[in-house]
């Protein structure tokens, strides 16, 4: 069963092929849900949080559940909404500096998976190439 979002943008920012089968690609990306990393940006310490949501029906997204990675549950295509929140760690608190949202479509091609990325919202912050690096783990 396909789990797609009917408002997925018609124009995508980046398309590429991941060399993993469809189910392995889903498992790889779902592991990013709740991921937190810390990096330095200029002279600031920045905490980056990633949230992955899966298309529930054709109109909404929901939390990642264990059935998403079960073989045979999702076939052909899957749409994801991935949010990347950046917080500057300053003095006594955390200050939000960016919240970028991307729509990601995975399409099964048997031996590999095609991935389309479209950024939702305003330009600036992360772009589709940054999201590709996150998905590839680089």
Q: Residue 122: what pLDDT?
A: 75
* Domain assignment present for 1: no
* Domain assignment present for 8: no
* Domain assignment present for 2: no
Instruction: Supply the range of the domain harboring residue 28.
Output: 14-136
The answer to whether 122 and 100 are in contact (CB under 8 A) is no
27 backbone dihedrals φ, ψ, rounded to 5°: -60, -40
Quote the radius of gyration of the chain (alpha carbons, Å).
15
* Domain assignment present for 3: no
The total domain count for the chain is 1
The answer to whether 4 and 105 are in contact (CB under 8 A) is yes
Residues 44-90 have pLDDT tens digits of 888 889 999 999 988 899 999 888 888 888 889 999 999 999 888 88
* Domain assignment present for 42: yes
How deeply is 117 buried, as exposed, middle or buried, from its count of CB atoms within 10 A (0-12, 13-18, 19+)? buried
């Amino acid at each position: 069963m396909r789990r797609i979002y009917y408002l997925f943008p018609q124009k995508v920012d980046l398309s590429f092929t991941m060399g993993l089968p469809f189910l392995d690609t889903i498992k790889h990306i779902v592991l990013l849900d709740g991921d937190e990393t810390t990096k330095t940006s200029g002279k600031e310490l920045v905490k980056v949080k990633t949230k992955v949501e899966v298309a529930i029906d054709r109109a909404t997204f929901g939390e990642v559940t264990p059935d998403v990675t079960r073989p045979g549950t999702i076939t052909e295509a899957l749409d994801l909404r991935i949010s990347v929140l950046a917080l500057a760690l300053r003095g006594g608190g955390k200050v939000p500096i960016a919240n970028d949202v991307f729509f990601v479509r995975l399409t099964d091609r048997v031996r590999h998976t095609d991935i389309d990325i479209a950024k939702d919202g305003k330009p600036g912050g992360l772009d589709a190439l940054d999201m590709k690096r996150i998905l590839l783990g680089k």
